[in-house]
Amino acid sequence: MNTAEHTPLWIRGARVIDPSVGRDDARGEVFAKDGRFVDKLSKSDQARAQVIDAAGLILAPGFVDLNCRLGEPGRGARESIRAGTLAAAAGGFTSVVTMPDCLPAADNVGTIQLIRELCARDASVRVLPAGTLTKGHEGKALAPIGSLKKAGVVAVTDTTSGVQNNEIMRRALEYAAMFGLVVLDHCQDSSMTDGAQMHEGAWSLRLGLRGYPRAAEEIVVSSDCVLAGLTKARIHLQHLSSGGSAEIVRRAKAAQASVTAEVSALHLLLTDAALAQYDTRLKLNPPLREEADRQALIAALVDGTLDAICSDHSPCTATEKDCEFDLAPFGAATLETAFSAAYEAIVADGHADLNLLLQRLTCGPARALGLDAGTLRIGGLADVVLIDPKATWKPSAKTLLSKSGNNPLLGRTLKGRIRSTFVGGQLITKDGQPAK
């Protein structure tokens, strides 16, 4: 993305919230110059600055997404870096960690360099590539993690394949720790989920679909927490879906294990009952679970057991999803609606205030990976979102920017909207559309 010198930015009149330092100003000002926050602008800079009156809006650091897919390279029919990063900006995300299950897999320096080149040309937000943990994310032989770190990856993961062998996982954690990399893990014992389509429970029985038990996730969460304690490596558990998983993480943190965890916005908002009409857009991995799980995940997010909210953006083409439920791929396009889904589930329903929600979208995920993001500190990257918490809106296939059409919240009235997103002090999107 282009970070060249540009017009200074002066935003005033907004309620400024920066959870990283506990800032909450009823009517504050934020200044940026040359892509970074500054304490103030000189008179000459003020005279040429882009001045925005943000009265009635919330100003917060740009969101950080630790779990998304941008299609390229190799899956351009599903998503492109150009469209996906514009969608990220429309959803308030200014930094995204993209998963390595592209084609070819991001298990080598060449693929990482290709991703970085594509992003330099097409990305509208900061794209932080993750590399695979094992070659071809097949869970058999370790990837060249040291070389991947030198190439610029911020974490390593085998994404939804997962490492199914605990000895390999142990060695991978030790190897990643040597290079200061966090291991991201999708927690799934695949021996328990062969052919699974949705959460194993009353709704799977009613719909006649093979179930995915909570235990398949919780077993791996448990082993990861044990291995984190053994190796002293840092591990981040991706998109947890089970209340039992949250409790395991809670106990691991109490024992000082180096574990962090996230939940997707959809798992905060919906349950398996939403699948009553076999909507393939809601076929997710991990699956939507029961109301008790949703409430437990919300409680874990509020008490700090869960550190971050992710989009879990997993785009598919409309054709791929337009088939029988058991033939459809897993995944939903969620970047543009993640904030509104989480806002409705957490703030509008009275579980916590906006400050906590913003913490889990900004400094929470940034700290989990040690990223320079998610803050309004002076000298930091001038990534900002303006939010209208009172707005209601309906996502439409005609106006969403993602190339994918599998957003399950299309047509639903949502609360809270991202009005503007700035990256490096430059306006990228306004009211869900490109600024230029």
C-alpha gyration radius of the chain: 21
Q: Are 308 and 329 in contact (CB under 8 A)?
A: no
295: three-class secondary structure by DSSP: helix
Q: What is the largest CA-CA distance in the chain?
A: 68
pTM, two decimal places: 0.96
pLDDT of 2: 52
User: What is the model's pLDDT at position 5?
Assistant: 57
Q: What is the pLDDT of residue 3?
A: 46
Q: Tokens 């200061």 map to which residue?
A: 180
pLDDT at residue 1, as a whole number: 54
Instruction: Tell me the DSSP string of 29-59.
Output: EEEEETTEEES---HHHHHHSEEEE-TTSEE
How far apart are alpha carbons 118 and 125 in whole angstroms?
12
Residue with tokens 């009823």: 26
Residue 396 CB coordination number (10 Å): 11
pLDDT in tens, the chain (436 residues): 554 457 999 999 999 999 999 999 999 999 999 999 999 999 999 999 999 999 999 999 999 999 999 999 999 999 999 999 999 999 999 999 999 999 999 999 999 999 999 999 999 999 999 999 999 998 899 999 999 999 999 999 999 888 899 999 999 999 999 999 999 999 999 999 999 999 999 999 999 999 999 999 999 999 999 999 999 999 999 999 999 999 999 999 999 999 999 999 999 999 999 999 999 999 999 999 999 999 999 999 999 999 999 999 999 998 999 999 999 999 999 999 999 999 999 999 999 999 999 999 999 999 999 999 999 999 999 999 999 999 999 999 999 999 988 999 999 999 999 999 999 999 999 999 999 7
pLDDT at residue 4 in the model: 46
Q: Are 284 and 217 in contact (CB under 8 A)?
A: no
- Cα separation, 298 vs 293, in Å, equals 9
For residue 402, give both structure tokens. Answer: 């993602």
Question: What per-residue confidence (pLDDT) applies to 287?
Answer: 98
Counting DSSP H helices and E strands in the chain, the numbers are 14, 19
In sequence order, what are the beta bridge partners of 418? 387
Q: Which helix (H) or strand (E) element contains residue 350?
A: none
Q: How far is CA 54 from the centre of its chain?
A: 26
Considering only CA atoms, which of 90, 103, 16 is closest in space to residue 311?
Answer: 90
Taken in order of first residue, the domains within the chain and their CATH numbers are: 9-59+381-434 (2.30.40.10), 62-369 (3.20.20.140)
Which one of the listed residues 25, 312, 349, 388 is annotated catalytic? Answer: 312
Q: Which of 297, 419, 384 is nearest to 349 (CA)?
A: 297
Residues 6+ apart with CB under 8 A from 222: 248
Is 25 noted as a catalytic residue in this protein?
A: no
DSSP lists the bridge partners of residue 183 as 156, 235
- What does DSSP assign to residue 135? G
* Residues in CB range of 144: below 8 A, 6 or more apart: 107, 108, 109
Q: Which two tokens stand for residue 135?
A: 């070659």
Euclidean distance between CA atoms 164 and 5, whole angstroms: 48
Residue type, 386: L
